[in-house]
Copies of this chain bind each other. A is one copy, B any other.
């Protein structure tokens, strides 16, 4: 865990930055790198949302534990994705590294005060939140479908997001897929074997999936 001091040092002086207005490039220029081991917490639910994060490598999830102990995964972030941005001052979900991950961290207050002066930055913050909203809305649509449709939807989403061809490497174990889709690991597993039997995918290893998009598209009601 990086110390607060280090982050402040790197975050300092943002007011002087000029001509750079993409939040992503601000993070890339001034973010402090931090490493998180598999399953370690990046921030907790209810904690003050003091930082904004960008995934450099690895995979991150946000999640919430329900009263009955079940866990719901809200979002999944892959390399390049920005997460942890809140409009309120508190994180509404917690965030954990799914695999060993490297992220860049930048102070939220610095961005917000920059946004007050620079309308381009303000627009970017808005856009980031809007993208998040769009993803969550898509997620809702997934959650009301059948198990097969959820799994197919998940695979197609991953195929879009990991820059690869038809062979994708799942960035997470079955349990995380299940908690993202609101299913059990057994159902996820069975559904994948079913898809394999139907020739819609191939599973050379449990983490590698060969997608036959034509067939999947047909199953993706």
Contacts and interface: CB of A to CB of B under 8 A. Distances in A.
A56 to B, nearest CB: 24
Looking at chain A's contact residues, is the secondary structure mostly helix, strand, loop, or mixed?
Answer: helix
A44 interface: no
A59 B70 CA distance: 33
Interface residues of A, number: 37
Please give the count of copies of this chain that the complex contains: 2
A137 interface: yes
A137 B134 contact: no
A123 interface: yes
A87 B140 contact: no
A2 interface: no
A70 B129 CA distance: 28
A64 B139 CA distance: 13
A125 interface: yes
Contacts of A221: 66-68
Given A72-B140, A122-B119, A137-B93, A130 B87 contact: yes
Contact of A140 (B67, B74, B116): B74
A88 interface: yes
A87 B143 contact: no
A123 B221 CA distance: 38
A119 B127 contact: no
A139 B144 CA distance: 12
A182 B182 CA distance: 13
Task: Give 3 nearest A-B pairs by CB, closest first.
Answer: A87-B130, A122-B122, A67-B221
